[in-house]
Amino acid sequence: MIWQIKMACLALAGLSATIQAQAGTINLTIDSSLADYVLEVSCSGETVDEQRLRNSEVLQAQIKHHTGLSPRHTMDAYIEGLQAASRCEVLEEDLFRFRFAVEEKESMSRAIDFLKAREDEMVGFVIEKTAPYFPADKQFSGAIVLSAAGQSCGGFSMDGAFFIDLPCVAEAVEEEYMAIKVLSAHETYHALQYAFFAPFNEDMQRVDSPESALNYLFLNLLLEGTAEFVADSRVITGDSRLAGLLGGFAKKGYRRVNFNLRMVGYAAEVLAEKGDSQRRMRDMYSVGFSGNTGQQFYYVGAVMAEKIETAFGREALVCIIALSPEQFVLAYDAASLKGDAEATPIGAGAVNASRLLAEGKVSWESCADTP
């Protein structure tokens, strides 16, 4: 089912007048077609339709995300893994975790049925969280993609597509439901970012200088921070796999946010130095944004967004986050000094780098001055 939000007419009951004033048009569905195909082929003995997979824009986006983190996670490796799964086998190096499609096929299918049956509720939750931070003059159509085979537990976004990892939640999908809804809102907001943020490229391979590395750092601080702000993961409870993972990350991340504000400054100082910018960026990304280290910069960015909204208002925040990403840092720097939004300053290295990157660009102050 497709849900539509119109600026003049919101179908979802209970949404505030603020949301009505902000909301553009959002069309959203749950897409299980790729997951359905993976489970259909697994242990079937059927020939894998390689051309179908290679032509799938959804799978292309997924592979692009995975290869950005590890060059081994290619389309060829995905097809090889599914070919083995068709024979009811699991490769020794199971890069995409097809073992779940082979060994847990029944629970995976049940999880798809559970989530599809709650499509209206899930989409309604997602829209309620994201609509207030989506400009009134924008439109978006997309889907929450259920992925039956992937690289890691959780969710991710790439090129306007967003994915929920079924192997991570299938065993206890009922207990994971709130975590899935929050993650869906987080990933949906990433897709909305493609619709109204300043043009950006998430390909880390393009980082080749201190300037591009710093821009990439601030871009991810903005992308992940605002998505966490919109879909606050502190509401997640329970100790099932995904809920425990995301809830634990949030609990620790928000507790250490003042320390990590300084860490962002140190990261900027490292990236500002000449040298192997690609290697430095990968290391700083691992420190601040990887699940292996608790994605601690997500919560820094969320607190930054919260303080900017407190200091300058929601419309100003939405305006600011659509600008070049260093403006987000500079707006927080100003907000942290404002009496009604008093907050810990971000590290000086981040502010200094942002000022250099900001030269000749539209300033965040143009948003704060907007009535």
pLDDT of the residue at 341: 62
pLDDT at residue number 7: 31
**DSSP annotation of 3:** B
Question: Which range, of 7-11, 142-146, 167-171, averages the lowest pLDDT?
Answer: 7-11
The Cα–Cα gap between 4 and 304 comes to 30
Q: Among 2-16, 76-90, 150-164, where is mean pLDDT lowest?
A: 2-16
**pLDDT-based confidence at residue 158 (cuts at 50, 70, 90):** confident
Strands 161-165 and 155-158, sheet pairing: antiparallel
Q: What is the mean pLDDT of residues 296-305?
A: 98
pLDDT of residue 10: 33
Q: Is 153 left (phi over 0), alpha (psi -120 to 50) or beta?
A: beta
Q: Are residues 190 and 235 in the same domain?
A: no
The predicted pLDDT at position 338 comes to: 83
230 lies in the same domain as 162: no
Question: What is the amino acid identity at position 47?
Answer: T
Check whether residue 216 and residue 101 sit in a common domain: no
**Domain end among 173, 196, 219:** 196
Angle of helix 257-272 versus helix 296-312 axis, rounded to 10: 100
Contacts of 225 (CB under 8 A, 6+ apart): 297, 298, 299, 300, 301, 302, 303, 304, 305, 328
Give the pLDDT of residue 194.
Answer: 85
Residues 241, 177, single domain; the answer is no
**pLDDT at residue 16, rounded to an integer:** 32
Q: 0.85 cut: is pTM over it? A: no
Mapping DSSP onto H, E and C, the string for 251-295 reads HHHHHCHHHHHHHHHHHHHHHHCCCCHHHHHHHHHHHHCCHHHCC
Per-residue pLDDT, 160: 67
Q: pLDDT grade, residue 308 (50/70/90)?
A: very high
Q: Mean pLDDT for the chain? A: 89
Are 227 and 190 contained in the same domain?
no
pLDDT tens digits along 166-182: 999 999 999 999 999 99
- Asked if residue 44 and residue 20 are part of one domain, the reply reads yes
Final residue before a domain boundary, out of 196, 217, 233: 196
**Amino acid symbol at 183:** L
Q: What is the strand order of the sheet 25-31 is part of?
A: 25-31, 139-147, 161-165, 155-158
Residue type at position 111: A
Overall number of domains in the chain: 2
**Tokens representing residue 331 in the block:** 């707006």
225 touches 302 (CB < 8 A): yes
Q: What is the pLDDT of residue 18?
A: 33
Mean pLDDT of 40-65: 95
Q: Where in the sequence is the domain holding 72, given as residue range(s)? A: 1-196
